[in-house]
């Protein structure tokens, strides 16, 4: 699946012509990137103009604008989602999935379903994890008591075991179990009642085995959506439990809670009007904040940054506070994330930044540095995309361009070793001079002119987010801090960069595109411009409120449908 980048299709993007001219302006086009992506609509036709298959029973009607329903596939819970789910189901906060499972590929999000290929390594990890989780649960009477909704009278208490299976199974598989399924789990009680001289087995033994079973069950591990066919070929209407699961994993990063399952049972989710009430409740949940913190950290690349733990914690607290304020407290324009003139610090972080101390040891402080504003001033984001033990203007340029403008950068030509910082004939050259050499070489300048000038405008801020006047340890190398956002003009510092990004009109579209990528578990592809356009229009109409955008997107009738991939999905 080709990645969806702006130069792919002229016509939709206002700025497509600008990008195209940049590309034509001598930037190297490597194989396998932009050139290949100027494809036609062959695999994106899908809109399925044909009527649904004719069957005996009357089919659900497809929604009017069914062509805006994106293709989707079953998605495996990411490592983080699995940890959250096990925490919420079993009260186990040890993050066992992170302990046993392989690290995800981040693209930049951890949920790209096309990469979720089952393997021997995975099923082995899941079995060991399930056994570990189950053993620790069975050894913990407090958690067991919370999990089992009845008081077993003994190892052979079938009624209580059945109650547990029905309750836990429904929560874990996110739907009521069939009678057949309950009977299948009941067979595990034989391990509780077995007369065994050497094994200390009891009622809880079988409980542990049910947990082991569920945790390895593909119906638990994957969010499988089936739904019912509609009169539009390939379009299926999800049932209420499937919608509950979609909502919960997108908004909370975890499994539906009891209330949400009850809402599904009550049929509140199929109808957008009642669904919105549910969404509003979910957005009140603390986990909605955690989910957005995680989302931003993946998007902007600071989920792990090269600093010591104390500083990382302080940065994360600062950035989380701004996200919460913009999205949940103020509920104004999301652009405030980039323009806020205040930041949340404690004494430690204020001293680190050399800014005024907050009142009472922790709180909001107004920047005294007029060039700072918003998240681009945070140590978290300024630490991301560093290289060679220092900031990399090129990498920072890539961050802004890829993640905030959703613009592609072609591959460097193969004969350039991009692992090394720019060399210079002059060993005493300052950093700005060395980077300026990029502009002297035509084959470099075509692309580096898209990136380096952006990073140069942030050079006064080091990889710990501190202001600096000159290159580290070299007072003779005064940093000008002057940069340029290609197509938008000169700027200096995070505040002006944010202003330029907003003025360019590209930021809000990219914000939506990134969120949809996260929500769908894949990049949008050519032919899906209107899906983005729909959400973008609502985002603008709501004054760029992010919570409103999430509510509108998940509350839309279309959110309750899925489209079967036409070509095998991969």
Partner 1 sequence: MARRLTRRTVLRGVGGIGVALPILECMLDSRGEALAADGGEIPCRYGLVFAGQALGGDNWAKDASRVAGMNFTEEGHFIAPPEAGTGWTMTTPLEPLALLRDDFSIVSNMKIPYNATNTDGSAVPEGGAYRDFHGGGCSPLLSGTRSTAPSFTCNGITSDQVIAQMHAGATPFGSLVYRAQPSWYLSGSSYSGRQYISYTGGGEPVEAQVSPQVAYMSLFGNFQPDNEDDIAILDFTLRSRRSVLDLITAKRERVLGEVGAADRIRLERHFDELRDLEERIAAISPEGGSCEVPPDPGTDPAIGGDNAGAGSGSIEENTGWSDETTRANVLADIIHMAFACDLTRVATLQLTVFQSHMNVFVPSSDMGIPIKADLHEVGHNGDVDNRGQICVSTMLEWHIQFYARLLQKLKDTPEGAGTLLDHSAIVFTAEAGHGRQLNDAASENQTHSVEQMVMLVGGRAGGLNPGQHIITAEAHPVQALISAMQAAGYPGDTLGEVAGTIPELFT
d(CA 49, CA 554): 25
Name which of 58 and 568 has its Cβ closer to partner 1: 568
For tokens 């939709």, name the residue: 12
Q: Out of 6, 307, 438, 448, point to the residue binding partner 1 (CB under 8 A).
A: 307
97: contact with partner 1 by CB under 8 A: no
394: contact with partner 1 by CB under 8 A: no
Stretch that binds partner 1, among 17-25, 139-147, 380-388, 519-527 (CB under 8 A): 380-388
d(CA 566, CA 173): 27
Q: Out of 50, 120, 273, 440, point to the residue binding partner 1 (CB under 8 A).
A: 120
Q: Out of 37, 107, 163, 193, point to the residue binding partner 1 (CB under 8 A).
A: 107
Q: What residues from 287 to 306 belong to the interface with partner 1 (CB under 8 A)? A: 297, 301-306
* Minimum CB distance to partner 1, residue 175 (Å): 12
Q: Out of 219, 362, 437, 471, point to the residue binding partner 1 (CB under 8 A).
A: 219
Q: Out of 2, 37, 125, 193, point to the residue binding partner 1 (CB under 8 A).
A: 125
26: contact with partner 1 by CB under 8 A: no
- The residues that bridge with 343 in the sheet, in sequence order, are 365
Q: What residues from 32 to 91 belong to the interface with partner 1 (CB under 8 A)? A: 32, 73-74
Burial string for 365-399 (b: 16+ CB within 10 Å, else e) reads bebebebbbbbbbbbbbbbbbbeeeebbbbbbbbb
Q: Out of 395, 405, 449, 554, point to the residue binding partner 1 (CB under 8 A).
A: 395
d(CA 292, CA 287): 9
Stretch that binds partner 1, among 106-114, 315-323, 353-361, 533-541 (CB under 8 A): 106-114
118: contact with partner 1 by CB under 8 A: yes
- Cis omega before residue 9 (within 30°)? no
Nearby residues of 554 by Cβ (< 8 Å), 6 or more positions away: 246, 247, 250, 251, 275, 279
Name which of 306 and 370 has its Cβ closer to partner 1: 306
SS3 string of 345-404?
EEHHHHHHHCCCCCHHHEEEEECCCCCCCCHHHCHHHHHCCCECCECCHHHHHHHHHHHH
* Minimum CB distance to partner 1, residue 31 (Å): 5
Q: Out of 50, 273, 389, 425, point to the residue binding partner 1 (CB under 8 A).
A: 389
d(CA 261, CA 264): 5
Over the window 177 to 216, marking each residue x when it contacts partner 1 by CB under 8 A and - when it does not, the resulting string is -------xx-xx--x--x-xxxx-x-------x--xx--x
- Cα dist. 412→7, 27, 456 in Å? 17, 9, 20
Stretch that binds partner 1, among 82-90, 431-439, 445-453, 458-466 (CB under 8 A): 458-466
* Minimum CB distance to partner 1, residue 121 (Å): 4
Q: Out of 131, 170, 281, 289, point to the residue binding partner 1 (CB under 8 A).
A: 131
* Minimum CB distance to partner 1, residue 50 (Å): 17
Name which of 256 and 301 has its Cβ closer to partner 1: 301
Q: What residues from 222 to 241 belong to the interface with partner 1 (CB under 8 A)? A: 222, 224, 226
Name which of 103 and 329 has its Cβ closer to partner 1: 103
Nearby residues of 93 by Cβ (< 8 Å), 6 or more positions away: 87
For tokens 């509140």, name the residue: 268
Q: Out of 64, 329, 417, 476, point to the residue binding partner 1 (CB under 8 A).
A: 417
- Cα dist. 18→276, 395, 404, 487, 490 in Å? 39, 22, 17, 8, 17
Structure tokens at 435: 């980077």
285: contact with partner 1 by CB under 8 A: no
CA 274, distance to chain mean position in Å, is 26
């Amino acid at each position: 699946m080709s990645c969806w980048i702006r130069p792919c299709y002229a016509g939709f993007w206002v700025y497509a012509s600008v990008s195209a001219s940049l590309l034509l302006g001598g930037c190297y086009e490597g194989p396998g990137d932009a050139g290949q992506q100027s494809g036609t609509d062959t695999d994106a036709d899908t809109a399925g103009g044909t009527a649904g298959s004719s069957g005996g029973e009357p089919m659900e009607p497809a929604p009017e604008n069914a062509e805006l329903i994106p293709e989707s596939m079953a998605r495996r819970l990411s490592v983080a989602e699995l940890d959250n789910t096990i925490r919420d189901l079993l009260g186990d906060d040890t993050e066992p999935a992170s302990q046993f499972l392989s690290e995800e590929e981040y693209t930049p999000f951890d949920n790209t379903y096309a990469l979720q290929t089952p393997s021997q390594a995975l099923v082995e990890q899941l079995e060991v994890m399930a056994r570990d989780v189950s053993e620790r649960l069975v050894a913990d009477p407090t958690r067991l008591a919370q999990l089992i909704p009845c008081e077993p009278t003994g190892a052979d208490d079938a009624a209580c075991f059945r109650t547990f299976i029905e309750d836990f199974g429904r929560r874990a598989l996110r739907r009521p179990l069939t009678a057949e399924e309950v009977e299948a789990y009941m067979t595990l009680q034989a391990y509780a009642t077995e007369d065994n001289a050497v094994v200390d087995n009891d009622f809880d033994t079988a409980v542990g085995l049910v947990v082991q079973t569920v945790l390895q069950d593909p119906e638990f591990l994957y969010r499988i959506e089936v739904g019912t066919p509609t009169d539009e070929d390939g379009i299926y209407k999800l049932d209420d439990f499937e919608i509950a699961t979609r909502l919960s994993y997108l908004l909370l990063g975890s499994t539906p809670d009891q209330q949400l399952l009850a809402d599904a049972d009550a049929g509140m989710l199929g109808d957008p009007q009642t669904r919105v009430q549910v969404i509003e409740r979910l957005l009140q949940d603390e986990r909605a904040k955690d989910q957005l913190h995680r989302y931003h950290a993946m998007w902007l690349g600071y989920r792990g940054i090269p600093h010591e733990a104390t500083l990382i914690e302080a940065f994360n607290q600062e950035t989380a506070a701004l996200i919460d304020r913009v999205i949940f407290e103020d509920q104004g324009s999301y652009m405030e994330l980039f323009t806020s003139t205040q930041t949340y610090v404690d004494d430690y972080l204020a001293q680190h930044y050399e800014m005024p101390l907050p009142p009472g040891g922790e709180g909001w402080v107004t920047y005294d540095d007029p060039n700072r504003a918003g998240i681009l001033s945070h140590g978290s984001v300024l630490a991301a995309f560093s290289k060679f033990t220092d900031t990399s203007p090129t990498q920072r340029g890539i961050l802004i361009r890829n993640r905030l403008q959703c613009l592609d950068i072609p591959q460097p030509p193969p004969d350039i070793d991009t692992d090394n910082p720019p060399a210079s004939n002059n060993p005493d050259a300052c950093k700005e001079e060395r980077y300026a050499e990029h502009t002297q070489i035509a084959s470099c300048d075509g692309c580096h002119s898209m990136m380096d000038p952006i990073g140069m405008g942030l050079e006064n801020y080091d990889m710990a987010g501190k202001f600096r006047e000159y290159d580290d340890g070299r007072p003779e190398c005064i940093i000008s801090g002057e940069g340029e956002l290609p197509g938008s003009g000169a700027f200096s510092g995070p505040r002006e960069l944010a202003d330029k990004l907003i003025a360019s009109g590209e930021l809000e579209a990219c914000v939506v595109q990134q969120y949809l990528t996260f929500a769908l578990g894949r990049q949008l592809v050519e032919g899906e411009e209107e899906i983005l356009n729909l959400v973008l229009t609502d985002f603008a109409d709501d004054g760029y409120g992010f919570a409103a955008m999430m509510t509108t997107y998940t509350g839309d009738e279309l959110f309750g449908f899925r489209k079967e991939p036409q070509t095998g999905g991969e």
